[in-house]
Amino acid sequence: MSIVAPPQTHAVSGASARADATVTDPALVRRAVKAAALGNAMEWFDFGVYSYIAVTLGKVFFPSGSPTAQLLSTFGAFAAAFLVRPLGGTVFGPLGDRVGRQKVLALTMIMMAAGTFAIGLIPSYATIGVGAPVLLLAARLVQGFSTGGEYAGASTFIAEYAPDKRRGFFGSWLEFGTLAGYIGGAGLVTLLTALLSSDDLMAWGWRIPFLIAGPMGIIGLYLRMRLEETPAFAAEVEKAEAARPRVPLREMISGQWKALLLCMGLVLVFNVTDYMLLSYMPSYLTSELKYDETHGLLVVLGVMALMMVVQPFAGALTDRIGRRPLIAAGCAGFLFLSVPAVLLIRQGGLLAVALGMGALGLLLVCFTASMPAALPALFPTRVRYGSLSIGFNVSVSLFGGTTPLVVTALIGATGNMMMPAYYMMAAAVIGGAAVWFMAESAGRPLPGSAPSVEPARN
């Protein structure tokens, strides 16, 4: 089908036009959502696998006599990916604004799949010596670099395809993919651990989850290559008469500094609470509270399953009441309920832990359901991918990815087991300030784009 933006423009592919509005193609929107969500699922599949199999990876790649040193080395290689995320964002983001979202998202999918698949092929330290951890680090850097362009591009892609009045619902499926990927990765490792002996798991079993990334990447690449460019970007190209000038990096930063600060504040509360719940809490339960490891992991997986069920409904709710009210509710919830939730978790009983974790998970849904639609709406079309990539990845690298490390250090320095609650409360205050200054975007066109509407029903 074709789109005709305002009357003087030419036709571009992806949707049809009605007056001065883009009329979306429902089938194309669904395909775009699937293709974008699969990439996010793949990223977090790797995250779940790496987190749950870290002890085995430490033995394979880091031959230290100390299990703690092995685990620290493994997570050090994991953390290294966060260091290059902003670099990936500054490369892929501006590129996506220049050559198109679809092409760049296809490239990031290839790199993500290749990096994860390569880990499954790396020989052990016993086979090639120091080359093994070096290759592991190199694969992680490839993954981190590609991830720098993934979330901002995927959320931009869905936002620019979705109709204005349902952008929240369609955007929520991006984080549905996140949760599905993490559950899939963690669940597969749990299954392999139960079925294989320790020797088999260390000899070859640990490779299986990483090698699965190859076929997943091919499927994701196929889905993304079948998509056309987003109507918003195609219309932007039309306005520039197919000769868009290169947008300087400084314009993406200095020209959008207010929106970037809002983006970083929103991403901070989103990712601090996200990494606290999904990444740090399993370790907090076992290492700090001496909770049974198996039960702790199952509780976390159960909370994520609950979040998956609620996620699309919460996304649709943002289309009805707005993004700001739901994000504000999440910030208020973390400010006032973090202490009661952590106190419940510290009691140690299965029901108390489940209630505390479940409460934090439902509060987190306020962000996971809202952010994929709210963040792209902060920036105009011509710099959306680039500016969002920069703001998102800088905030994630500085605050989100460092959450487990910082909270562990704070507990070690103070001996206060309530530090996770206080840290989430501090993030909620910053997020609340960002919400205060943010404009409502629900039901409205993206900045720099024509209104996007669904086709009339017969």
Q: What is the pLDDT of residue 290?
A: 77
pTM score of the predicted model: 0.86
Task: Give the sheet arrangement for strand 16-18, strand by strand.
Answer: 16-18, 21-23, 452-453
Token representation of residue 214: 């190859």
Determine the residue type at 347. Q
Q: What pLDDT does 17 receive? A: 41
Q: Which residues fall within 8 angstroms of residue 135, CB to CB, at 6 or more apart?
A: 118, 122
pLDDT, residue 440, reads 95
Would you say the CATH fold of 248-441 matches that of 1-246?
yes
Q: Cα dist. 192→186, 197, 353 in Å?
A: 10, 9, 26
Cα–Cα dist 230/102, whole Å: 8
Collapsing DSSP to helix, strand or coil, 270 comes out as: helix
Closest Cα to residue 41, out of 171, 178, 169, 149? Answer: 178
Q: Name the strand (E) or helix (H) holding 411.
A: helix 403-414
H or E segment to which residue 249 belongs: helix 249-253
pLDDT tens for each residue of 177-236 = 989 988 888 888 888 888 888 888 888 998 998 898 888 888 888 888 887 888 888 877
- Domain edges within the chain: 1-246, 248-441
Does residue 442 sit in helix, strand or coil?
coil
pLDDT of residue 430: 96
Element (H, E) at 100: none
| Residues 335 and 428 sit within 8 Å (Cβ to Cβ) | yes
| Residue 248 confidence (pLDDT) | 62
Low-confidence ranges of the chain (pLDDT < 70): 1-19, 64-78, 240-252, 287, 292-294, 457-458
d(CA 34, CA 214): 18
> According to the model, what pLDDT value does residue 97 have?
85
**Of 3.20.20.140, 3.40.1400.10, 3.50.50.60, 1.20.1250.20, which CATH number belongs to 1-246?**
1.20.1250.20
Check residue 252 and give its pLDDT. Answer: 66
Please give the Cα distance from 166 to 30 (Å, whole number).
12
| Amino acid 147: pLDDT | 85
**How far, in Å, CA of 176 to CA of 37, rounded?**
7
User: Among the residues of 256-383, which ranges form H helices?
Assistant: 257-275, 281-283, 293-321, 323-347, 350-368, 371-374
- pLDDT value at residue 249: 65
Burial readout 357-371 (b: 16 or more C-beta within 10 A, e: otherwise): bbbbbbbbbbbbbbb
Q: Do 411 and 197 touch, CB atoms closer than 8 A?
A: no
The reply to whether CATH 1.20.1250.20 applies to domain 248-441 is yes
Length of the chain: 458
> How far apart, in Å, are the Cα atoms of 256 and each of 224, 357, 361, 375?
29, 37, 32, 13
| Closest to 365 measured CA to CA, from 156, 443, 357, 259 | 357
Tell me the Ramachandran region of residue 77: left when phi exceeds 0, alpha when psi lies from -120 to 50, beta otherwise. Answer: alpha
